[in-house]
Chain A
């Protein structure tokens, strides 16, 4: 929330974890995570429920202290949320009956950097509308947030994240429960942000989605199973190691085939 340099290229935004583990009481959520995240990459964190995807994202966002190891941003340990690292939470943690409209929510992305004494300036509102335009939600600016469909709510979250003008975007399950047009919009948006030199890291348990729209996949199930381009790491062996016997996907050329596997096997 403390406004540091805005607009200046203070960092190149290179995230890295060094021997990070997280324990909740006796339960270990993540073990010995050593990953370097590149710049201008779209990286999906792929794993089953309870694999620690959300935990890893919160860790990278500086919202959760690691039990061991360090998260480093350009070599500097991350101990609290920093400007430039934008976290987009899951939709489910939000009170959708809240009396705010779409533009109000988007402008929350600007709340920390504006005067306490005044209302939002006209140019903030214009930028808010522009961000809504980018996610196709401009004409819903005055609509109460609870009136929207799941996909539309996700778009508003993205507009809010865009207004935060980050270098690194961390998204928790952005594709969960959204409609097909929103999925396509998300893919376009990620690609646009990546071309602008930003890094997108998102959690998903959708294999096809991860294979289609990320240039790096991190297979995790409490530890890192594999890390690399989708075509390299999404092998039957790796996926079985990640998902157990739930369902296995085998990349066959450019096509993706999903093979349900007997859980006993």
Chain B
């Protein structure tokens, strides 16, 4: 028992690990929440592109001895505006615009840093993060920026989810889609920038997408999805750091692998959507799935948990049972 406790507590006695744990929890929560909107809007590629395209900003700030976060932010804003502008072109899709700027920006970053003497070491610390080198001031900055991001999402949650669900309706409601899209990209850039030191340029995508995707498998409600994504993100971070500490593997990779493992578990065994669960459940409980397409007497109070929809028959999905129109 005490050996177990030692196992848990040992890393926590070291300051650099305390900082690392705090940083990964912050990043897990922030990326989980904003990642919820990233996955729902299908913006994973955009997130990846932003993470890479802000690279030159990071490098320029580093070379000039300025604040790396500020350099990254300036680059992120410029890149998201540029993607918006190029994507407006009638001949190019948004995806193409992202692809062009993503690779171009990344190449510029590598070109700039390759001129430096400590090239290899610097490059790898940017690409994979240096979570063990998180200082107290880094933590404060991460926390401050992260809190700002979370509060802004909270304030504009209705607008952001309306736009993600039904853009035309949002527009008809007088929302300026361009302004909200830019706001969202700015928040996303901030989240990516503060994750760079922790998980690095390349694996930040996993922190945005994987916990949110896992959460989507577990719930049908947006607020719960954001909450679960934050929880899963932070949890993978903590577990991943322990694995990294004891197995001596790269912390970023370890965190992402834990998140991926949780996703795999949810994919297979999620209560209502898991591949295995559904098959088992179909065999055990629902010999006549067409009878279960809709709850027969769903409780009408919305404050109670939503009715159980155990199985959706693809054939019954289109026609569905109609309620008697009153």
Contact = CB atoms under 8 A, between A and B. Distances in A.
Contact of B221 (A89, A90, A99): A99
Interface residues of A, number: 54
Contacts of B298: 139-143
Given A143-B298, A150-B318, A184-B325, A101 B169 contact: no
Given A94-B165, A136-B326, A143 B294 contact: yes
A149 B158 CA distance: 25
A181 B225 CA distance: 34
A149 B166 contact: no
A181 B322 contact: yes
B156 to A, nearest CB: 7
Contacts of A81: 171-174
B5 interface: no
A195 B173 CA distance: 25
Given A125-B302, A129-B302, A143-B309, A89 B172 contact: yes
B232 to A, nearest CB: 15
B306 A101 contact: yes
Contact of B164 (A86, A95, A112, A179): A95
Q: Is the interface of B mostly helix, strand, loop or mixed?
A: loop
B165 A105 contact: yes
Contact of B158 (A111, A138, A151): A111
Given A99-B225, A116-B155, A93 B318 contact: no
A140 B156 CA distance: 27
B216 interface: yes
A89 B220 contact: no
B294 A147 contact: yes
B165 A139 contact: no
Interface in B308-326: 309, 312, 317-320, 322-326
B40 A99 contact: yes
Contact of A104 (B169, B222, B319): B222
A137 B302 CA distance: 13
Contacts of B320: 147-149, 152
A12 B169 CA distance: 24
B165 A141 contact: no
Contact of B323 (A82, A86, A116, A136): A136
Interface string B146-185: 0000000001101101101111110111110000000000
B307 interface: yes
Contacts of B130: none
Contacts of B312: 147
A103 B165 contact: no
B79 to A, nearest CB: 26
Given A87-B172, A129-B302, A184-B325, A100 B221 contact: yes
Contact of A151 (B40, B168, B224, B322): B322
Interface in A164-183: 179, 181-182
A264 interface: no
Contacts of A100: 161, 165, 220-222
A108 interface: yes
Interface in A138-162: 138-144, 147-152, 160
Contacts of A133: 326
A201 to B, nearest CB: 14
Nearest to B316: A149
A76 to B, nearest CB: 16
Contact of A1 (B175, B299, B307): B175
Nearest to A86: B172
A112 B325 contact: no
B6 interface: no
Nearest to B159: A111
Contact of A138 (B156, B171, B300, B305): B300
A149 B317 contact: yes
A140 B162 CA distance: 20
Given A89-B166, A99-B222, A116-B155, A139 B300 contact: yes
A94 B171 CA distance: 13
Contacts of A93: 166-168
A225 interface: no
B295 interface: yes
Interface string B283-301: 0000000000111011110
A140 B325 CA distance: 13
A111 B309 CA distance: 27
A184 B322 CA distance: 13
B214 to A, nearest CB: 13
A185 interface: yes
Interface string A74-101: 0000001111001101100111001111
A2 interface: yes
Contacts of A138: 300
B221 to A, nearest CB: 6
A61 interface: yes
Contacts of A1: 173-175
- By Cβ-Cβ distance, the 6 closest A-B pairs, closest first, are A149-B320, A142-B306, A87-B172, A89-B168, A1-B174, A144-B220
Given A95-B166, A147-B294, 9 more contacts: A63-B168, A99-B222, A101-B302, A108-B166, A116-B158, A140-B294, A141-B298, A149-B317, A181-B325
